[in-house]
Amino acid sequence: MKKILVANRGEIALRVMRSCREMGIQTVAIYSEADRFSPHVKYADEAVCIGPAPSNQSYLKGDKIIAICKELGVDGIHPGYGFLSENADFARAVTKAGITFIGPSPEAMEIMGDKLSSKAAVKKYKIPLVPGSEGAIADVSQALKVGKEIGFPILIKASAGGGGKGMRIVEKPEEFEENLKRAVSEAESAFGDGSVFLERYLKISKHIEIQVLCDTHGNYLYLFERECSIQRRHQKVMEEAPSAVLTPEIRKQMGEHAVNVARSCNYTGAGTVEFIYTDGEYYFLEMNTRLQVEHPVTEMITGIDLVREQIKVARGEALSFKQEDLTMNGHAIEVRVYAEDPANNFLPDIGTLQVYKKPTGEGIRVDDGFEEGMNIPIYYDPMIAKLVVHAENREAAIAKMQKAIDDFRIIGVETTLDFCQFVLAHDEFKSGKFNTHFVKEHFKPEYLTPPVDQATDEMAAIVAAVALQQKENELVTAGTEVVKPSSWKNRLLD
């Protein structure tokens, strides 16, 4: 494999290209008109504009991507995550065109892409499942009967897709019919598939996922777990590895169950098996048949480059290590830096990165796809960067992340950095006992809104910081050495 096209954008495109470059593989970037000046476009060996800004006219044009590959002599496609990464039809078309798809088979995607078929597949391996309906629910009266048998509260979930779409928590039987109709409607709108099923709703739970890596030679390995319980709108915003609550025995059990999930669909490449965990018990949720956003924390504690391993597996190579070779080294935490306003229900806050300075230092990693002066496009996910730290233990990792956030200077848009700082300082998070309801139970928007006098002082500091930055740029241009101040305000607050 000598040339790989990355069918994605932003930070994940850059991250894949870096591993390709280290492996001596040439890269091709695709970009929409909105991403013309993005770093991933400049980093690639070749770049092709694929269409207008909307993703359905650019990054989702699978036939056009394949045509570009044929024209440029590309022999592999890495889909990153999102967009076409879990599209079985695209993977099948890529293979049919004689190009290697760097990911699992279309058949594995189809089995694990539907929550009902995935549950059916793993049953023979005796994977623990959340009590729920056997199949899709259509009839309201029959669904209500099943719901009462399961026991309220229950969770209505879309069979296809994820990200909280087509999902409803129902506390009482009298609220069931309306929520069922809404879940079906939302699932049809989001995924083109209105089928839903029921599960018992576990109020106090953690979201634990296991990274798996599998080759075409029958090797199935797990690279330990990630804790992903800090979420808003059922979507993750902070992750860490390992979890603070798993015992070595539970970790081994979950890992073995995760690789059996992979076996159930003949999985190859890197994938993630998700579980609900509560009070020492856990249940299979789903498998994500792609690289996860939060994969860097696993890389930090294992020293394994997951993208490199994906490419090697796609080339037909056997994994060069065994389960007993894998060990956990220290602790890693990742925060997703979104252009969102946590004080306004985490709504996107699109704008220009007037100041964008990343923290640096040992054990600090920033995966991003932006530069200072760039606009955050309205067409895509508003994630600016992933800030990751690694330290010898969890306490040290928390302290390092707090310092790194303080050193991350962003002016021009609201971000989730202050929210993440709030989480890191909270006793519930420090204890490791937090669950997926942390935001609902512990966070209020006013916690991030400073008093009027403080806000005025901070605004003055921001104005001074921008002026100082402009002066610094002028001095650098003139060849003058710049001595930076020890601190300055890094984010715009209300």
Q: In sequence order, what DSSP letters do the residues of 387-413 get, joined into one string? A: EEEEESSHHHHHHHHHHHHHH-EEESS
pLDDT at 230 over 90: yes
Residue-level pLDDT at 492:
31
pLDDT the model gives residue 485? 34
Q: What is the pLDDT of residues 328-385, one digit of tens each?
A: 999 999 999 999 999 999 999 989 999 999 999 999 999 999 999 999 999 999 999 9
Write the CATH number of the domain with boundaries 131-200: 3.30.1490.20
Rounded average pLDDT over 185-211: 88
Between 152-161, 259-268, 442-451, 459-468, the lowest mean confidence (pLDDT) is in 459-468
Question: What pLDDT does residue 195 have?
Answer: 84
Mean pLDDT for all residues in the chain: 90
Mean pLDDT of 203-225: 96
- 332 residue type, one letter: A
Active site residue 290: yes
> Domain ranges in the chain?
3-102, 131-200, 206-446
28-59 burial string, b = 16+ CB within 10 Å, else e? bbbbbebbeebbbbebbeebbebbebebeebb
Q: What distance in Å separates the CA atoms of residue 334 and residue 215, rounded to the nearest whole number?
A: 27
d(CA 447, CA 452) in angstroms, rounded, equals 13
Topology given in CATH for the domain delimited by 3-102: Rossmann fold (3.40.50)
Top-confidence residue, 58 or 141: 58
DSSP 8-state code for residue 466: H
Higher pLDDT, 212 or 150: 212
What's the pLDDT at 481?
43
Q: Does the pLDDT at position 184 exceed 90? A: no
Q: Is the pLDDT of residue 137 over 90?
A: no
Residue 253, judged by CB atoms within 10 A of its CB (0-12, 13-18, 19+), counts as middle
- Most distant CA pair in the chain, distance: 76
Does 487 have pLDDT greater than 80? Answer: no
Residue 177 pLDDT more than 60?
yes
Q: In the structure encoding, which two tokens stand for residue 271, read together?
A: 């994938």
Q: What is the pLDDT of residues 406-440, one digit of tens each?
A: 999 999 999 999 999 999 999 999 999 999 999 99
pLDDT > 70 in the chain, percent: 90
Domain boundaries 206-446, corresponding CATH code: 3.30.470.20
User: Exactly one of 15, 251, 290, 365 is catalytic; which is it?
Assistant: 290
Q: Which two tokens stand for residue 79?
A: 């889909």
